[in-house]
Every structure is written in structure tokens, then in C-alpha cells.
Structure 1
């Protein structure tokens, strides 16, 4: 039976206050994942078959890539529906360099995988979206790798394989840009920068790609494209949250 954060003593500080929570260093994936879903009612409406976005009416999914014929990935799994709180944590880790949040998010990831074991178990490898950490990078570490390292410390049996996709240099940031501008960057400089250095590791495998936020889907589309080109049998995405403009 899932853990109820309300039943814990002391009570968790709340998802947006992870670093001040009594369970930050002593908690378990079960507690941290339960906290990300606390007080988050299931939305009602029409659900996108690709990303799970729920619309109030019959309008198509607002995430551009979900409607493309050449999407390359089959579907998207989302760790939490509390997009704003998750985006705050991701932003503080990636841009504020609050690296202790990787520990929390690693536990959240493990909690999700255990709670939803059947669907991710159908993939042979769980890798990370490509990040550049070379001499021109604005930080010498990859926040997704930090999250996966923390997840690996807390579980076994999940086929984590970070870094299957390489990125040869920095590319334009999507933050604050509209869909057309994001697509231009993705299909231009991002596509040129991505590669799979060891295609034999992905050939014939079904691969789940971990990323932080799904906004339009252009980054995941390019990642799936390069993996399929290297021989992968199929690609799906796993993101911490869906958030427009993230």
C-alpha cells in the first residue's frame, strides 16, 4: 500500500522544500516519491495517447511533437504531475547548482520505477538525454547523470546506462523560446551535435530515455532519432515533469 506523507511524523516539508525536509538524508524512495504526488488530484478530460497530457476538451495535444508523424519515440512517461514544483527543483539543480537536490530526485526516480514497475520493465536500457560537459560548457557536470548516480545507489536490477548518446558541443538553450524557435535549434545544431559512440550497445534494444522536462518534445525527438539510426529497436521517454516553456 502506498505511503501517505500525512501519516509520517515528522511530516515531510513538502516537495518544493526538499532541502529542508527531515527526510532529505534519511528518507526512502517510497517517501520521496509519495511526497511528489501528495495533494495532486488526477485531472479529468481527454488524454493524449503519446504524452498523457489531459485537455479540457477535444483539442489536439498542445505539445507539438506529439502530433508529428516522424516523432521517432513511441510514448512518454511522466514521474509527477506537479510540474511547477518539479521544475523548481530541476532549475535549482541545473542552473542554481544545488547539487544536493540530485539525491532527492534520484530517490523520486527510484520511487516512480518501483511504483510503476510493469511499464518501465519492458525496456532493456534506461539512458539519459545528452548533455555537453566539455570545455565550452557552463558547468563541468551533467545534472541527469547526478540523478541517475543517486538512483543507482538506492536500487538494483534496473538497467541504467547513462551517457549512451554523446553531444559534441553546446547548443542553443530552449528556455523561454517558442515552439518554432525550439524546432529550428533541435533540427539544426542539436541534430548535428548528437551521436551514439557505441552503436553496438543500443542495437536491437528498447531504450527508455530520461530527461528533466517535456515541453514540446523536440529534444526527445532528436534523441530518439539518433538512437533508432544506431539500431535501437524502439525508444520512449521518461521525464520528471511535463511543463510548457520549460
Structure 2
């Protein structure tokens, strides 16, 4: 990894065409990850040292939390810079409930981890962002855990530990609201709802928190906060894409 996609026969259908791709079922993390990042261009301007997003003319990151002093997480890893294509795949899985995309997304996650093994193997645990699936939930399935279970199947050597962070109830939805509203929900409802049920599992550990999309960083900030308070040594995040308003 990386793999030469042009050498494959048949050729992969492309990220937006996973449903018709010959490798949807028969593929590997190497193939799916390479397809996901193919065509992505490296930024030709200075990038944020926290999340990799291109900074503005004043050197500021458009993602709010990257610039705050009490960020709590050390950095944010992004699987693909093809944000819109990646978001469409996540959206179809998460909201359209195309649940068989879980295998593709799991392979993509493992492919990214393998491609960055030298750096990411230093994390002791890879957990999921907290999702509430109780009787008052917006949706009754933990889509992040489903992806991680597929990732565990394709990458059994990685220290996947879903569910280290618990969420006790529903909170306001972040999709389509302003950064100020996101911050209000995160620092209020979300902060009150998060906990680490088994702190002994995280004490002294370097933890990577997997989520689907990074928009401003408020959710990751709260999850990093609760893990550090439970004794974690470091918290970082990994997402499929950075996308404002996602």
C-alpha cells in the first residue's frame, strides 16, 4: 500500500460508484483506500498543524476548535481530502441506511491505518465517537461501531476498542447549524451526557477516536476532554473527511 489502481482488471468503479464496483465485496483495504484517495490533490498553501486544513491569509484554520487553547485532542487525521465524495458515501450509509457500505468504509479505515502505520501504530486503542442508541435516540443503531466491526475483520492487528466513551442521552443534532450553535450544544448537552464507564481501560493510554466527519471539532473536543479526565495520556481523532457543516 499504496496500490496501483491502473494495474487492476477490472478497474475499480470509483468512490461514488461503490454499489457497482467489482471490489465492493471482493476488495481489500488496499484497493478501497487507494480508490478513496485517488485524485486528491495535496494543498499548495500552508495547512493547519492540527487538522491539515488549508489556513487563511492570516494563518488561521477555518475549523474553530483548532485555534482554541483548551482543545484537548493533539491532532486530527483525515482519511481523504476528497471531502464531498467521501461525505456522500458516509451520508448514504448514515442517513440513507445503505448498511452494506459498512464493509467498504471499514476497509477504507483499515487502508488508511496501514498506509500510516509508522505513526498510527503508536496509539494503544482506537475507539468510536460516542453515539446514544437508547429509547430517545434519533437513530437506533451505532453506525460508527458497525464500521469498526468491519474494520476489525479486515484489520485484526489494530487495537480497535469501540464504546470506550458512553453517551447517556440524545443531544441536539449538528447537521446544518451554525458553529455557535454547535459549540453551545457541545459544551452543554453533550458535555453533560458523556462519560467513560471503565476508566481503568484508558488510564495511561494513547487513544485514537474514530468519527465520520470533522467540521469544527467541538464533538471531538468533548470526547477528548472526558477521556483525559479519566486518565488517558493523549487523545487524537481520525475521520473520513473534513467538511464544514457536516
Q: Distance in 2 between matches of 1:196 and 1:119?
A: 26
Residue aligned with 2:207, SS: strand
Number of aligned positions between the proteins: 246
Which residue number corresponds to residue 10 of structure 2? 10
Q: Distance in 2 between matches of 1:56 and 1:71?
A: 20
Cα contact 1:44–1:56 (8 A) shared by 2? no
- Per the TM alignment, residue 119 of structure 1 is displaced from its structure 2 partner at its CA by 1.4
Q: Distance in 1 between matches of 2:57 and 2:118?
A: 30
> How high is the TM-score relative to the length of structure 2?
0.97
Which residue number corresponds to residue 97 of structure 1? 97
Cα contact 1:46–1:58 (8 A) shared by 2? no
Q: Does 1:113 align with 2:77?
A: no
Cα contact 2:206–2:232 (8 A) shared by 1? yes
Which residue number corresponds to residue 153 of structure 1? 153
- Per the TM alignment, residue 153 of structure 1 is displaced from its structure 2 partner at its CA by 0.6
In structure 1, list runs of 5 or more residues that go unmatched.
none
C-alpha deviations, 1:10-48, integer Å up to 9, x for none?
111110111211100000110000001111121210110
Q: Does 1:244 align with 2:240?
A: no
Q: Distance in 2 between matches of 1:147 and 1:189?
A: 26
Residue aligned with 2:2, SS: coil
C-alpha deviations, 1:114-142, integer Å up to 9, x for none?
11101111111000000011111233211
Residue aligned with 2:117, SS: coil
> How high is the TM-score relative to the length of structure 1?
0.97
Residue aligned with 1:153, SS: helix
C-alpha deviations, 1:53-78, integer Å up to 9, x for none?
12363430010000000000010111
Residue aligned with 2:236, SS: strand
Q: Distance in 2 between matches of 1:175 and 1:77?
A: 21
Q: Distance in 2 between matches of 1:241 and 1:2?
A: 19
Residue aligned with 2:24, SS: coil
Which residue number corresponds to residue 201 of structure 1? 201
Q: Distance in 1 between matches of 2:112 and 2:98?
A: 22
Cα contact 2:202–2:227 (8 A) shared by 1? yes
Q: Distance in 1 between matches of 2:83 and 2:20?
A: 20
Which residue number corresponds to residue 216 of structure 1? 216
Q: Distance in 2 between matches of 1:88 and 1:62?
A: 21
Which residue number corresponds to residue 28 of structure 1? 28
